[in-house]
Amino acid sequence: MGEVNTVKTMRAISQDVLGGPDVLKVTESARPAPRPNEVLVRVRAAGVNPTDWKHRATGGFLGEPPFVLGWDVSGVVEETGVGVALFRPGDEVFGMLSYPFGHGSHAEYVTAPARVFAPKPAGIDHVRAGALPLVSLTAWQALVERAEVRAGQRVLIHAAAGGVGHVAAQIAKARGAYVIGTASAGKRDFLRGIGVDEPLDYRTTDFAQAVRDVDVVLDTIGGETALRSLRVLRPGGVVVSIIPMGSDDFYEEAERLGVRAVRMLVDADHHGMRTIAGLVEEGKLSATIAGTFPLAEAAKAHELGETGRTTGKLVLVVD
């Protein structure tokens, strides 16, 4: 028998008001206990995503604070609730907490339904595992479940060096697609390295003029980018936007052009996480780490993320 953890409190990154990175504070609170069908996970690493700093600043779907942000988790099962047969204490797991209301991974411990997790791939550490869940599920659900990307198709990915984008490029390549990716010129070699066939410098090239006959566009930007992306599609093609709010012009223009327009939010998914783990184990998917920060320095991660210049993912490391 291993040692019983008698710790009753935990550190978390919380905020009492909306605002800039400086509103994020290290707080101490009661360690949660898993309810039936839940597991308590000791967090070892947790990705930071644009949705984190957007919610920090505006409240987003969560409304007014206080709250603890974070949806990505890689860690170790500490306890299991009644009825959990999927995992045992000591199992290494990774997953995305239910989006948007299951937040809270920027802490030393988190409870969640057991089925939001999957076994962590043995070949990667917690940092790389903790970087993957939200962006990978987003890309998988957009490209495979919504757009049904298949071999030989042409796929345009906006912001292909970003968190979602660099994972989406790898997933599209794993499906056998020809991948066009937008990024700044300095990231051309990076894009080539993750399998992008045709890098486009968005600062000097208008994608709507340069690209034609695309089957699928993954829009990670929204607004005019989503609308203009419809015009590069083949008849019957689809733009999947991961920016869920916006003008009805997006749908109306798609109908006029004879193409499809989809807006979506990522959803927690055990089967999806197992699929992601399989791609990792096959060497077809990996996260590029733009930077790691101790939990207490979450504000610094937010500051860097908000520059919009990072390549890959930012990750909080929990000791």
CATH value at residue 157: 3.40.50.720
Tokens 């030989």 correspond to what residue? 152
Instruction: Answer for the pair 62, 55: CB distance below 8 angstroms, yes or no.
Output: yes
Phi and psi, residue 175, nearest 5°: -85, -5
- 115-145 confidence digits (pLDDT tens): 999 999 999 999 999 999 999 999 999 999 9
**Same domain (yes/no): 104, 50:** yes
Average pLDDT over all residues of the chain: 96
User: Within a domain: residue 282?
Assistant: no
**Is the CB of residue 305 less than 8 Å from the CB of residue 50?**
yes
182 with 99, same domain: the answer is no
Are 87 and 168 found together in one domain?
A: no
Split at pLDDT 50, 70, 90, the class of 281 is very high
Q: Which residues have C-beta within 8 Å of that of residue 89, sequence separation ≥ 6?
A: 2, 77, 78, 79, 80
Asked if the structure places residue 55 within a domain, the reply is yes
Q: Are 301 and 316 in contact (CB under 8 A)?
A: yes
User: What angle do the packed helices 270-281 and 163-174 form, to 10 degrees?
Assistant: 70
- Model pLDDT for residues 191-249, shown as the tens digit of each residue: 999 999 999 999 999 999 999 999 999 999 999 999 999 999 999 999 999 999 999 99
Residues 17 and 123 in one domain: yes
The per-residue pLDDT for 5 is: 61
With respect to residue 279, please indicate whether it lies within any of the assigned structural domains.
Answer: no
173 plus 80 within the same structural domain:
no
The answer to whether residue 91 sits within a structural domain is: yes
Q: Both 116 and 227 in a single domain?
A: no
Pair 142, 126 in one domain: no
Listed in sequence order, the DSSP H helices in the chain are: 50-58, 126-131, 133-140, 163-174, 188-193, 207-210, 223-229, 249-257, 270-281, 298-305
How does pLDDT run across 14-23, given as a tens digit for each residue? 999 999 999 9
Residues 215 and 106 reside in one and the same domain: no
Are 73 and 164 part of one and the same domain?
Answer: no
Residue 281 lies in a domain: no
Same domain, 64 and 110: yes
Q: Is residue 125 part of a domain?
A: yes
2 pLDDT higher than 50: no
293: CATH = 3.90.180.10
Same-domain check for residues 193 and 303: no
pLDDT of 6 strictly over 80: no
Domain-located, residue 280? no
With a cut of 60, say whether residue 12 has pLDDT above it: yes
The answer as to whether 242 is a domain residue is: yes
Same domain, 211 and 246: yes
pLDDT value for 7: 72
Which residue range is the domain that position 48 belongs to? 9-132+287-317
| Stretch 57-80: mean pLDDT | 98
pTM for the whole thing? 0.96
Domain count, the chain: 2
